[in-house]
Structure 1
């Protein structure tokens, strides 16, 4: 399998062609160095040939973009980063650091009360100050010094973050660079950084760039191909992602195609010869093989959060826990550490191994909570029997009406069915038991009700009602308010709204009179993540003594 073949970036040999994408975790300290939790998070994913850290800020003046982001702004941090690289190397993987300056994509609160800077006075969140040449030279020097620290820390390579609307991307994109001096040519800024960084380090240097910004005035594949071609002699690889500041970007929900950016990547591939990395909703081996038709290396993002053993499992044909592209827990990074709806162990990798158990255990309820309890108890050594009163496993997943969501979420049920079979769990369908661990959620989503030739208003953010709109619109006149999208990740909400419009659902600013009015807005609601996490912790802590 080509995916598992070794590959080299300059003189750095990777054991396979699988790369873990840089992703924000908030697992670092407020000072910017990796915690033990953070190190364990990386070690857990060391079956990938290369790990790329989350974006890491280059100064402690104006470059930080999120609260507990990593930072390489001081020599005092080198020993802490060296601990991270040592741990990854001891687990037979390689690690690159991604360096960033957030530019306008930050808040004064995050950059110690200073004003965000940008190539031009085009604000995004807070007011920005247009950079003068002294600012530009200072930032270039910050990248250089951070690169030196990276090599001293033991990193195997450096990736400059030129994607997703951060400072380098702000210079490169016509939508955000309105300068009239020589830096109107934003590639000049990138070239100067690359030349100075290459002057002081010997390790590989690559760049991440958005192959499209989903904006007619922004970066597009043709322009990106020209940019990469121009700086190609200064790069050891290029890493293609997508997006800038809008709802469309690298972490697309289940409404967007997958793999996501192959067509755009083909345009760049025609122009460049250096190794090409490509990210974008790769969840299966089939997705990865499609990516390798265009790129040299497959970049896994949310999928390696969902199942850190993905590279191992594709080699031994074990069931893979799928990323369902829900964009729920993994997108709460303004206020939380990284978590995953389908992987309750994410962020808790530092916990000790689970205690071994023995004996027979009954689990009552074959929904997500019950299946997770059965999985974990079986891993601990118990003989598990799972009872489900219906004729199939899956619980409320089987009630989903949204075809896009159903297609993605049903793969999670398929994973549990295969994994429970592999583990030897006895599954009793159309069966009930009065004793055992009761795995029935205390709260559930509303049950579907059918309507015909009615005027329906949905003013609710419950996931179930978002689904039921897809069924109701077939025989009814359906209106939804903006509250339907409340709490959804921007990408998922934007694309759901698009799907509704295609179906003829009318989106209104205020509630209207209707035959059926659904008015139920909640701060929290039953979710896949809550059910699976509850099941995991019940099973982890279970004792039959």
Structure 2
């Protein structure tokens, strides 16, 4: 549950704002922005203007920014389109521009270097063959690395590190988490070699030694404290790995996961903070420890700081880059609802956020305005439109025909709906702060002002008792109502209904269904059936985005 009225103890505020050192680099506070894939880079692998604006905007809260994973060669290291790459000297000036923007806001910036190994497709690596410690495919066929390959890749990391230092980065993070190449060497589940590199720490030691011989800036390691697999990395094994290499590192950054479904971005069906208990099982290293995992509120951060030196925020800084100053001032915070929608799945689009329509559009100007404007509709579209109009300088009146704000969000039956409804609480407090005049139980018309009523809605809940229900539909509403129907009915939902969901969200949703007796079936029949598939359906993200652009474009 997200607690909006939490009063933070003075000691936590002091701890968060306290500087700390990574090597000889002083970080101004203990808030770190997690490396997250954005696809905001260019096809050539350097930061675009949009990418620089997106990252530097988060420096308002984070004393340290860690870039998304950055590939080290232009042969077989890349894992996604528009990924950052430090593969050649010619891209260094563009990375320097990113560094300057972050430094200009008083924060430090580290680059995360990666070779993705088997976790790629031939199309992403220019038609070359994916390589890995062992020929265990995950997508395309994989070739086992020779010792020459290993030497080449270590040299690629070292050269990319040299470029990072020339670009002005304050430090380097080696990406050894989430099933990428370093993790593939370290994990018993993916390293089946019989030569000296069957001990994957040898590869890591050689890599760190070579990087440190080429650069003077701090070097850290990101590693999964668990891969949610007894055959993979566990807290006990990670403790042993870190013990062997920590004298050569400046910090350790704990995340979790390998190839899925459980990974670093846990949706609402997972407790917060996500990986705290796993971190507690591990021996704390003698160097600074960073911990990530569904940190949303200051209270979550307090729990993390009990076991780590700094707290790493990911999706929460996507949802609200002003998380820290707003939290400290007691201003409304736009909390991440952990929906795993627009911040996931980057095969063909850039990062976005369902609750923050400004993400990825940081360069769009917000023009000042004046005068009065009426917004009709108190759902998410109208709430966001009212917020933006008020920030532009308009005096806003919001009309809602119902007795409460939030529109279709109030129909949610999900047992975890409290986190979803936090966005409505945010708008209620933010609109009050912005002096928006709200009239409930008041019906407006199209000619009164800005019409923010949805063109179509999700189907409303119907009370059904003592029967068999089959859901064969991708509509979020039916997937949600299943929880309520299961209280008095036998409910089944088809696999096809859930096919479009993010893998982690789907896995945990199916687990939540199973706990409530809801069956997931290939096909079936029910006495009451809901069969409907649509290409596009109303979503939280679409509703908020519509309100944002509607208000951005408004001219009286």
Match of 2:436 in 1: 425
- Tell me the equivalent position of 2:404: 392
Length-normalised TM-score, structure 2: 0.96
- The yes-or-no answer on 1:360 pairing with 2:392 is no
1:518 matches 2:530: yes
Deviation per residue, 1:37-79 (Å, 9 max, x gap): 1111111111210000000000000000001000001111111
2:73 is equivalent to residue 62 of structure 1? no
Deviations 1:195-219 (A, max 9, x none): 1111111111001000010111100
**1:403 aligns with one of 415, 431, 435:** 415
**C-alpha separation in 2, matches of 1:11 and 1:215:** 36
Partner of 1:478, secondary structure, is strand
Whether the 8 Å contact between 1:120 and 1:130 is mirrored in structure 2 is yes
The CA distance in 2 between the partners of 1:451 and 1:146, in whole Å, is 61
Separation of aligned partners in 1, 2:428 and 2:467: 39
Question: In structure 1, what is the equivalent of residue 501 of structure 2?
Answer: 488
1:135-159 Cα offsets, whole Å, 9 max, x none, are 0000000000000000000000000
- List aligned pairs for 1:473-512, cutoff 5 A: 473-510=486-523, 512=524
Matched with 1:168 is 182
Q: Confirm or deny: 8 A CA contact 1:483 1:521 kept in the other structure.
A: no
Cα distance in 1, alignment partners of residues 302 and 174 from structure 2: 26
SS in 1 for 2:343: helix
Inter-partner Cα distance in structure 1 for 2:76 and 2:444: 60
Contact 2:133–2:145 (Cα < 8 Å) also in 1: yes
Q: How many Å separate the matches in 1 of 2:64 and 2:459?
A: 44
Distance (whole Å) between structure 2 residues aligned to residue 538 and residue 256 of structure 1: 34
Residue 503 of structure 1 deviates from its aligned partner by 0.8
CA distance in 2, matches of 1:472, 1:275: 49
Which residue in 1 is equivalent to 2:90? 76
* 1:404-483 pair list within 5 angstroms: 404=416, 406-434=417-445, 435-483=448-496
- Among 108, 112, 125, the alignment partner of 2:126 is 112
SS of structure 2 residue aligned to 1:347: coil
Q: Distance in 2 between matches of 1:14 and 1:272?
A: 19
Once the 2 structures are TM-superposed, how far is the Cα of residue 486 of structure 1 from its aligned partner?
2.1
For 1:174-189, what aligned pairs fall within 5 Å after superposition? 174-189=188-203
**Paired residues of 1:229 and 1:271 also in contact (CA < 8 A):** no
What is aligned with 1:145? 159
Matched residue SS, 1:329: coil
What residue in structure 2 maps to residue 134 of structure 1? 148
Q: 2:8 aligns to what?
A: none
Instruction: Please tell me whether the aligned partners of residues 496 and 522 of structure 2 are also in contact (alpha carbons under 8 angstroms).
Output: no
Q: Distance in 2 between matches of 1:38 and 1:536?
A: 20
| Shift, 1:260, TM fit | 0.4
Secondary structure in 1 matching 2:59: coil
TM-aligned CA distance change 1:318 to 1:271, over 3 Å: closer
The RMSD of aligned alpha carbons is 0.9
Per the alignment, residue 29 of structure 1 pairs with 42
Q: CA deviation at 1:125?
A: 0.4
Q: What is the CA deviation profile of residues 13-53 of structure 1, one whole-angstrom value per residue up to 9, with x for unaligned ones?
A: 11110000000011111111111111111111112100000
* Counterparts of 1:243 and 1:444, CA distance in 2: 36
How far apart in 2 are the matches of 1:277 and 1:39? 24
Shift of 1:484: 2.2
- Look up the SS of the partner of 1:330 in the other structure: coil
| CA deviation after TM superposition for structure 1 residue 332, in Å | 2.7
* Equivalent-residue separation in structure 1 for 2:345 and 2:121 (angstroms): 17
SS in 2 for 1:125: coil
The answer to whether the 8 Å contact 1:329/1:338 transfers is yes
- Deviation of 1:271 (Å): 4.0
The residue aligned with 2:6 is none
Task: Tell me, yes or no, if the aligned pair for 1:99 and 1:160 is still in contact at 8 Å.
Answer: yes
Q: What's the CA shift string for 1:398-455, capped at 9, x where partnerless?
A: 1100111x12111111111110011111111122223221211111111111111111
Q: Corresponding residue for 1:301?
A: 314
Unaligned runs of 5+ in 2: 1-12
Partner of 1:313: 326
1:9 aligns with 2:10: no
Q: Does structure 1 retain, via aligned residues, the 8 Å contact 2:399–2:440?
A: yes
Distance in 2 of aligned mates of 1:343 and 1:120? 41
| Alignment partners' CA distance in 1, 2:464 and 2:262 | 34
1:218 aligns with 2:229: no
Query: Mean alpha-carbon deviation: is it higher for 140-149 or for 328-337?
Result: 328-337
> TM-score normalised to the size of structure 1?
0.98
1:102 corresponds in structure 2 to 116
How many angstroms apart in 2 are the aligned matches of 1:407 and 1:184? Answer: 47
Query: Which of 295, 303, 309 pairs up with 1:282?
Result: 295
Q: Secondary structure at the match of 1:99?
A: strand
Residue pair 1:118, 1:170 contacting (<8 A) in 2 also: yes
Query: Equivalences for 1:235-250 in 2 at 5 Å?
Result: 235-250=249-264
1:87 deviates by 1.4
Deviating runs (4+, > 3 A) in structure 1? none
The alpha-carbon deviation at position 523 of structure 1 amounts to 2.0
Q: Secondary structure at the match of 1:209?
A: strand
How far is 1:181 from its partner? 0.4
Given the alignment of the two structures, is residue 42 of structure 1 paired with residue 59 of structure 2, yes or no? Answer: no
Q: Partner residue of 2:222?
A: 208
